[in-house]
Amino acid sequence: TGGTYVFNVSSFTTYISEENVTACGDILTSNTILTSNLSTPDTCFNITTSNIVIDCNGYNLSGNNSVVDSSAFNISSANNVTIKNCNIRNFYHGVFSSAGSNYTTVEDSNFTLSGYAAIRFASTTNYGKVQRNIITGGQNGVRNDNHFGNPNHIVHNNTIVNAQTGIDTIAGSNVTYNYISGGSGDQLNLHIDNRAEHNILRDSSQGMIVNSGANNNIITNNTIINHSYCKISIRIIVLES
């Protein structure tokens, strides 16, 4: 967070700076490694710099998910940001990739009881990647709000347990090899231009929902078992004359 770095250079090479962070409230501008558990009632970190890696190093970030729009990490107009190895609990958003942030990667992290979404992509984000995360409880596991074109977000090999909605994707996500169990709402909610393959959905009221007006979805080789209301629902709008 704004420190001065001094390098003794004896030949041409590449140097990468890293910061050790000990408190919430900083704007992260370079590669960062957490060194302790942190807590805050509001947003913990804002990220506005592209091409950085944030490694929580297995430490906990704890918030208060009753505070609307609080995030463990809020990424704003920054590209190619990676968040990894975090334990994130009780934030409104765990990771929020907001407008204009592309190529966000969230991986190898645990999210618990997110007020709105563990991981959320805003409507003008593209090419995000969500992989190998464990999400427990909360309203939405992974939510993609992009309505415009094909953002090609990848949601791969995540475990989502007892979230109200497991994965809700408006447009253009590749949703593959995820395990979604429990929850009170839709486990996988598809709108347009999505691909859902090799996912396991089980033990809830509703499995997969294909919404009215949904076009160009590819759905293959998914396992959908033990749903009390419906396994797959295709919603249709009927226009009365």
Confidence of residue 241 (pLDDT cuts 50, 70, 90): very low
pLDDT tens per residue across span 31-49: 999 999 999 999 999 999 9
pTM for this predicted structure: 0.88
3-state secondary structure of 39: strand
Q: Per-residue pLDDT averaged across 165-179, rounded?
A: 93
pLDDT of residue 19: 65
pLDDT of residue 185: 86
Q: Which amino acid is at 234?
A: I
Burial of 237 (0-12, 13-18, 19+ CB in 10 A): exposed
More confident residue, 159 or 26: 159
Q: Which stretch, 114-123, 184-193, 232-241, has highest mean pLDDT?
A: 114-123
